[in-house]
Chains A and B, each alone.
Chain A
Amino acid sequence: MTVSMSRRTFLRAGGGLGLAGALSACSSPVVTSITGGQPATADVIFWHLFGGGDGENMAAMISKVQKATGKSVESTLLSWGNPYYTKLALSASSGRPPDVAVAHLSRLPLLAQADLLSPVDDDQFSAAGVTKDNFTPAAWAKSTVDGRVYAVPYDTHPFVWFYNTDIAEKAGLVEGDGLKPMKGKDDFVAALKAMKEAGGGDYAAVMSITADPSTCWRFFTMVYGGLAGPIATDDGTNLDIDKGAMEETFAFMQSLTGDLGLMPGNATSTTTSTLFSQGEVGSAFDGEWQIPTYRGVKLPNGKPLNFNVVPFPALLGDEPVAYADSHALVVPRSDGRSPERTADAIGFIKGLLDESAIWAGGGHIPAWLEVQKSPEFLKQDPQSNYIRAAFNAVYDPVGWYTGAGSDFQTAVGSVISSVLSGATSPKSGVSQLTSSLQNFSSARPPVT
């Protein structure tokens, strides 16, 4: 044989070198994936679920925090909704979670009760300012599960009322920075009728109903929340439905799309954005995160779309209610995380809170009061109009199956959508929603 290296020997040597390289640093992902430790490819490993405008804002905040703290951050964007929470839960239960992750507060109960999160009410967090008095009370309360705090809330994102300022002005509804004070459904309906007349179109308002159970659920929870408490209690295992209140809620909602003819009963999210951005309707009911959708939009006549956003007035009850959720930062439990990494994680969380005025650009209300009261946020328009929605916030009922993007929202929201479209009567809506909810409340909970 010649001394020259054969192809096979070469490949063998190359493979060996590659493997040695992969294994050389004991913190390498290859080793940690086998040993079960945490990969340490950066000082802070961060998971989130924000694409689009929110994703850009998050990237800007991270880069500012990295510069300020001098700690490297590896941020991973995962797909929104159920897949995200499955991944987060599996990473924590298998002992390889990120150092910091984003979670909706509506999704917190299951993660906390399954013991997948480290509480954030210890001395280290308190020293960084993570204490009750520094946050919006409703968000802080929702971060607390069984008496312990498991998440650092950094926003509240409510369901709000978008209105076309030109149409509202023509209808004589504007007062100061917002709409004239209203109390009760009669004032609300009168305002919508005036908008329909002033706008000259077929409808006064639009909301995404068809194929959008989450939006239907948000509107319903807000209206029903004025009359009664959560529809499920005891961690979701007990149904607590006020049938009279629910039927009244459904009847009111259906009247808007039915008899009163104020809203189309079949609009999709595309119909909603098209009708509102073309100035064909005076109002749109949607989450504040749609604000970027309508910024800089031109009407068909070439003039800019002027709009404003306000919280809903009290509708069926005496007090205004805002359906909302919050984004929060959690620290998934990991036995192998060193004290240094924990300190870096806390520094990162504090950094994001301090930069949450950037986050507010996407329409969200900062939960960190220091930023919420800062001139930097207060000058943001229309975000500063609906701060009080964060204080009137009603979240999803506490349960292992509820929360943003959950099957529960899809199932219950479909019934509400069918009531709004006129296909189901309010009375039958109550029984359908009850039976749909029973599927969840009677299922075996994953944690007891």
Chain B
Amino acid sequence: MSSTATVAAPTAGVATRTTPKEGRDAPSDQNRAGWLLSAPFIALYLVFLIGPVLLGIVISLFNTTTVTPGLGEFVGLSNYGDVLTNKDFWASMWHSVLFTLLTTPLLVLLPLLFAILAARLVRGRWFFRLAFFAPYVVPSSAVCLIFAFMYTPETGLITNAFGWFGLTAPNFLGSTFGAWFAVVLLTLWWTFGFNFILYTAAIQEIS
């Protein structure tokens, strides 16, 4: 067994290891071990990621359905035509752009401000660092459920809070303006902590 020979080599001295035969075998042995160790990952990667992506590209040229076996009729680029002329597609593209425009500046500037403020604190610094970062570790589904409860018309916490000041809350879940406000506020609260930690690290000169 070649592995036995390799293990035994050190006792045989340096000369043994530099013989031409061993010199050629050791790297190729290592290569083989490397490939063997990566093989499970590569196999799964090919089967569950690369394969489906390639198949997805093929399917995009056919009228494939989930209820009939096979690829179906070849339709060329007409599926792409359908998407590019679909109003809903362009609406969702625009919503993604608008979402980025609304959240990115806030997520860059506010955490910087709060990181500086927290760093200047003498007492209770740990508390604010924890408080600002804590939301980031909450799973997204839990965050959404909690905010959906708070935004609920008539009975939700945020909606009622407007009433305490004699104001009428916007319809957070049912109007365009309200929905944008609701989603941006939620995103800000939830992802704020990550940028906050990056700034805090920079302020403490952790590189």
Contacts and interface: CB of A to CB of B under 8 A. Distances in A.
Interface of A: 1, 86, 89-90, 93-94, 110-111, 114, 116, 209-211, 264-268, 270-271, 274-275, 417, 421, 423, 439, 444, 446-447
Interface string B170-205: 010111000000000000000000000000000000
B72 to A, nearest CB: 8
B148 interface: yes
26 contacts: A90-B66, A93-B68, A93-B69, A94-B69, A110-B67, A111-B67, A114-B67, A116-B67, A210-B153, A210-B173, A264-B154, A266-B153, A266-B173, A266-B174, A267-B153, A268-B152, A268-B173, A270-B148, A270-B149, A270-B156, A271-B154, A271-B155, A275-B154, A444-B63, A447-B65, A447-B67
A89 B154 contact: no
Task: Name the 3 nearest CB pairs between A and B, nearest first.
Answer: A446-B65, A114-B67, A210-B174
Contacts, number: 69
B175 A423 contact: yes
Question: How large, as a class, is the contact surface on chain B?
Answer: 20 to 34
A111 B171 CA distance: 39
Contacts of A110: 67
B68 A446 contact: yes
Contacts of B171: 210, 266, 421
A268 B68 contact: no
Interface in B85-99: 86, 88
A interface, over-half SS: loop
A89 B67 contact: yes
Interface string B15-52: 00000000000000000000000000000000000000
Contact of B152 (A270, A421, A423, A439): A270
B207 interface: no
A421 B66 contact: no
A211 B156 CA distance: 15
A274 B174 contact: no
A84 to B, nearest CB: 12
Contact of A446 (B67, B86, B88): B67
Contact of B154 (A90, A93, A267, A421): A267
B interface, over-half SS: loop
Contacts of A114: 65, 67-68
B194 to A, nearest CB: 28
Given A93-B66, A94-B69, A209 B174 contact: yes
Nearest to B63: A444
Interface in B102-159: 148-149, 152-156
Contacts of B148: 268, 270
A268 B153 contact: yes
Nearest to A95: B69
Contacts of A274: 152, 154-155
Contacts of B68: 93, 114, 446-447
A446 B68 CA distance: 8
B4 A93 contact: no
Nearest to A86: B66
A1 B4 contact: yes
Contacts of B63: 444
Contacts of A447: 65, 67-68
Interface centre among B86, B153, B175 (most CB of A within 10 A): B153
Contacts of B4: 1
A329 to B, nearest CB: 19
B173 A89 contact: no
Given A209-B174, A211-B173, A266-B174, A271 B152 contact: yes
Interface centre among B1, B66, B148, B156 (most CB of A within 10 A): B66
A93 B173 contact: no
Interface centre among B86, B88, B174 (most CB of A within 10 A): B174
B168 to A, nearest CB: 11
A89 B1 CA distance: 52
Contacts of B153: 210, 264, 266-268, 271
Interface centre among A86, A110, A446 (most CB of B within 10 A): A446
Interface string B64-91: 0111110000000000000000101000
Contacts of B65: 114, 446-447
B158 to A, nearest CB: 13
A111 B67 CA distance: 7
A442 to B, nearest CB: 10
Nearest to B151: A268
A14 B152 CA distance: 57
A293 to B, nearest CB: 15
A62 B99 CA distance: 48
A114 B68 CA distance: 7
Contacts of A267: 153-154
A93 B155 contact: no
A417 B171 CA distance: 13
Contacts of B88: 439
